Amino acid sequence: MQKVISKRIKGWTKMRLSCMRIYLIRHGETAWNIKEKRFRGQLDISLSEEGKRQAELAGGALEKEHLTAIYCSPLKRCLQTAEKIKAYQEETCRFLEEPLLIDIHFGDWQGKKHSEIFEQNPELEEQWNNHPEELIFPNGESFYRVFERIDAFFKQLRQKESSPIAIVTHRVVINIIMLYLLGLDLRHFWDFQFDNGSISEITLEKNGKFQIIKTNDTHHLK
């Protein structure tokens, strides 16, 4: 997607840069992503061998971008991905664990297979697929809570950061970042797809406008 979406973000005018370039990277694959299809959430799972390969290739793809900072979810699958990316950057690139970027807490769903949840509760599968904005995970979070975290993160970011930066996080978080930037509500959650190891790129300008340069780029993984 090349410069087809442009929108103004209220409050970005306080940022001291004329333009900030941000790369959004979804962590590499884990066994729970593909083979087992379990709800991961805030359980701390390591990358699979394929996930490590994806992280390495994402690092290589960003080698010439001269990142000033890498913001990363504190969960292991993101840290391992971010460390691979950091290895391709200069010494001055900062590595920052950011709790606001952690995956959604799926509560009682965490660690369970999709089939375990949905075969027993088909109405939850319908909500998950068509009305995620209605879901509140038992003993966990709602998607609205993640949206609030993203809002807090960007309010912090625009006050202090230089460019370009990378954000290494989870599918749910990247989806909600896109909704946040586009001003869309959570009914549009499934309008976006972000594969493991994918790179998306956005720019944020001083006047509050942003552009999506590319989404879910996986060319480097082939």
Q: What are the phi and psi torsion angles at 71 (to 5°)?
A: -95, 135
Q: Tell me the pLDDT tens digit for each residue of 72-127.
A: 999 999 999 999 999 999 999 999 999 999 999 999 999 999 999 999 899 999 99
For residue 199, is it left (φ>0), alpha (ψ between -120 and 50) or beta?
Answer: beta
pLDDT tens-digit profile of 9-62? 454 444 444 688 999 999 999 999 887 789 999 999 999 999 999 999 999 999
The pLDDT tens digits of the residues spanning 122-168 come to 999 999 999 998 898 999 999 999 999 999 999 888 777 678 999 99
Cα 111 to chain centroid distance, Å, stands at: 20
Q: Is the predicted pLDDT of residue 5 greater than 60, yes or no?
A: no
DSSP states of 116-153: HHHHH-HHHHHHHHH-GGG-B-TTS-BHHHHHHHHHHH
The domains located in the chain, with CATH, are 5-221 (3.40.50.1240)
Query: Residue 204 pLDDT more than 90?
Result: no
Q: Residue 146 has which token pair?
A: 């993640």
pLDDT at residue number 146: 96
Lowest mean pLDDT among 5-9, 135-139, 182-186: 5-9
pLDDT over 90 at 217, yes or no: yes
Closest by CA position to 194, among listed 29, 70, 9: 29
DSSP-derived letter for residue 106 is: -
| Predicted local distance difference test score (pLDDT) of residue 14 | 42
